[in-house]
Structure 1
Amino acid sequence: MKVEKKGHTTTIRNTQGSTAEFYQKLHHEYNSFKSQNIIVDLSNDKALTMDDIKLFTEMIKIHSKEKKSLVLVNNSVNFNTVPKNIMLVPTILEAHDIIEMEEIERDLGF
């Protein structure tokens, strides 16, 4: 797991290989990231499945209650099959854009 902080956002890159193992490690260390917006970069996992993505559902719920964004990044998944409560984008740049938009919405009270 590679962690990079930039402003109010932390990018966490999966270097584990297995998304399930990576999720367990991220879940275990979540308290150290919960005050930041989080980008979870799963780009290295070309065999990512919908079950792997759904692992993050509970963490996303908890994070949104804290008024923070959690965005997943991977471009090898059919975006039409991703549940609406999970924000999945194909690039890191788009993840940053989503976080900025959500920050603006929160500032405006939406």
Structure 2
Amino acid sequence: MKITKTENYTLIKPAEESINIFLNNLEKNIFNFNGEHLILDFSEKINTTLKELLLFLKLSVEHKQNGTSFVIVFEGVEIDEIPDDINVVPTFTEALDIIEMDAIERDLGF
């Protein structure tokens, strides 16, 4: 995993060959990211499928319940096929927008 922390979010890019290995590593270390907004950047991962992205659904739901954002950057997935419980966007800029919108929703009590 390649990790970049900023004041507003933590960006994680998979360095592992397999999405499953990356997920296992992330789950083992998720406690290091408590209270942080996470952006998982799969933009450089080729041949990633929606099925693989949905493996992160549980982490997404847990993060949302803890009052933090969880966004996956990946281009090439039909937006209509993605459940509402997980945020998948095609660009990094849109991931930052999602974090901002989530913060507004939390401030408004949604």
Same fold (TM over 0.5): yes
RMSD: 1.1
User: What secondary structure sits across from 1:8 in the alignment?
Assistant: coil
Q: List structure 1 segments (4+ residues) > 4 angstroms apart after TM superposition.
A: none
Shift of 1:79: 2.2
What's the counterpart of residue 40 of structure 2? 40
Separation of aligned partners in 1, 2:46 and 2:78: 12
TM-score (norm 2): 0.93
What's the counterpart of residue 24 of structure 1? 24
After superposition, residues 1-110 of structure 1 pair within 5 angstroms as 1-110=1-110
User: What secondary structure sits across from 1:29 in the alignment?
Assistant: helix
Q: Which runs of 5+ in 1 are unaligned?
A: none
Separation of aligned partners in 1, 2:19 and 2:97: 24
TM-score (norm 1): 0.93
Structure 1 stretch displaced more, 78-87 or 97-106: 78-87
User: What secondary structure sits across from 2:102 in the alignment?
Assistant: helix
Amino acid across the alignment from 1:105: E
Shift of 1:35: 1.2
- Percent identity between the two aligned chains: 35
- 8 Å contact 1:18–1:45 — kept in the other structure? no
Amino acid across the alignment from 1:109: G
Separation of aligned partners in 2, 1:9 and 1:50: 24
For residues 47-73 of structure 1, the C-alpha deviation after alignment (integer angstroms, 9 at most, x for no partner) is 111221111111111111100010001
Q: Which runs of 5+ in 2 are unaligned?
A: none
